[in-house]
Amino acid sequence: MFSSLGSLANSLSGPFSNMGRLLSSHPSRQVRELPDGTDTVRVDLPGNTQLLFVRDAAVMATLAERRGLDRGNGVNLLRSVFGTGTLFLMPHDTAHHRRAGEFNRLFSQRQTDASTPDIAARACRAVETVGAAVAAAPETPVDMQDVILRYLFDVGAWAITGVDVDLGAEVAVFRRGVDALHREATAMLKTALAANAPWTADYMAREARDAAREFQEAGRRMLIAGAERHGLADTLALRALKRYGIDPASVDASTRFPPGILVEVSMNLAASLFTTGNLIERTLDHFERHPDELRALRLSIREDFPAGVRDLPQLRNCPTLRALLPVMLAQSPVGIVSRDVVEPTEFVDGDGIHHQLRQGDAVIFDVEGMQARQALKLDQALSEEGRPTLDVLNQRHDDVMQVFFHGPNQCPGRFLAVADSALFLIEMLSSFDLHSLDRQRPLERGIVNRLGGSPLMRLSPVRPARAEASPVPATPTRTLPPSVGRAISPP
């Protein structure tokens, strides 16, 4: 369906206040306020430009491949914060093609499947560390954001370099940067200003920019650690050194790296943190608010993973993952993907209406809403027990997977994201009851969707724990309780 600003305004509160709200908030918030049943919504903006909200997966699949849609001036503000060499902000040029190709090869489904035991070992370690802290001081609340981020730093740095790198000291600056970004760079007005007058970007989001620079220390430490592996493995860190003409054998603690490579490596790590971190935190929150689902999930976990995930060779479809994965995807932190129209292009929407996009227009893809509509198809894709679960993320299943986008910018970290969050969640949810101190944490929609309020939780071990576990059935045949895996509509 197609609706102009006029009809949209009728369903909201009048064109002027609607425009004011549009400009003062983030499109991730706006898109949730669009009338139900609208697949393509156009909003006319001042200056004869239009903003198009796309909520039809088939249209997204078509437009994601078009050269006319790209990351253009609309990401000026974010580029000024993170750096122009940030892969998730690069336009479709040769440099992007090469770097995205490397990333996709090194983080492929095959690689991630092969890494499952290593990731699982880190998930077990993270949960055991929390267990020890809780045993020592049962009443002391745990900062779960910190626990999750430390785990993701471990996995991310290892995946990028091939070695363990202790980046615990960088957690605080990362959190500071994300908080500042939410405060300073959420309003669409700022994005629009930086798009039209690029010089203004430098005057915005100063705290976030300072934190991103400070976070480059994580990149420096990963490059030094990763260089030691030269000749042993092919990693993103070594690829980056090679592209910059730096001989890894010459790298040591005193090496001064060009700023570009530090941006590249630190932002690859950041991409894995502010997405997956929020997904895990929101999924824990979901199960805290849905105790029946949690009970049913724990029963599944006891049957499917009686010894936990340690030494698990691969994630394979089973009742646990069939229940868990849809909940995780519904808590995805990336609500929208936005694109600038850099060349005129046209398309026909699901209702047969012809749309013309002109240079300067902007397109917002509602990936969160589109994912929610794929619930049944996703459930079918996960229903074949014993098949590798990460299959649902490969391109043959693009119809069930929208949160990672499509086309040349489809998330290359998606296999890792699903594997590391599922492994952590299975261990954590089966080991502990978690109670937030802040009972009503609001969902803050912005550059990523995240929970506001306090991340402090009180943890108590689940009793009786694994002693009660029954042996793994040769072929699990249980049907899931109806409540499990239903929470797939956006909150």
List the 40-45 sheet strands across, edge first: 2-3, 40-45, 49-54, 362-365, 337-341, 69-70
Residues that bind ligand HEM (CB under 6 A): 87-88, 100, 103, 107, 268, 271-272, 275-276, 279, 332-334, 337, 367, 403-405, 409, 411-413, 416-417
Helix H or strand E segment including 450: strand 450-451
Pairing label, strands 49-54, 443-444: unpaired
Amino acid identity, position 256: R
As measured in angstroms, the least distance from the Cβ of 467 to ligand HEM is 34
As measured in angstroms, the least distance from the Cβ of 85 to ligand HEM is 12
Contact 111, 414 (CB under 8 A): no
> Phi-psi region for residue 154, left (φ > 0), alpha (ψ -120 to 50) or beta?
alpha
As measured in angstroms, the least distance from the Cβ of 208 to ligand HEM is 18
As measured in angstroms, the least distance from the Cβ of 98 to ligand HEM is 11
As measured in angstroms, the least distance from the Cβ of 450 to ligand HEM is 12
CB closer to ligand HEM out of 296 and 381: 381
Q: What are phi and psi of 467, to 5 degrees?
A: -55, -30
CB closer to ligand HEM out of 71 and 459: 71
As measured in angstroms, the least distance from the Cβ of 359 to ligand HEM is 19
Integer angstrom CA distances of residue 209 from 76, 84, 147, 435:
13, 12, 25, 34
CB closer to ligand HEM out of 277 and 455: 277
Residue 202, both tokens: 């430098």
Q: Which residue is nearest to ligand HEM (CB)?
A: 413
How far is the first Cα of the chain from the last one, in angstroms, to the nearest whole number? 23
CB closer to ligand HEM out of 54 and 334: 334
Distance of CA 343 to the CA centre of its chain: 28
As measured in angstroms, the least distance from the Cβ of 412 to ligand HEM is 5
Q: How far apart are CA 215 and CA 210, in angstroms?
A: 9
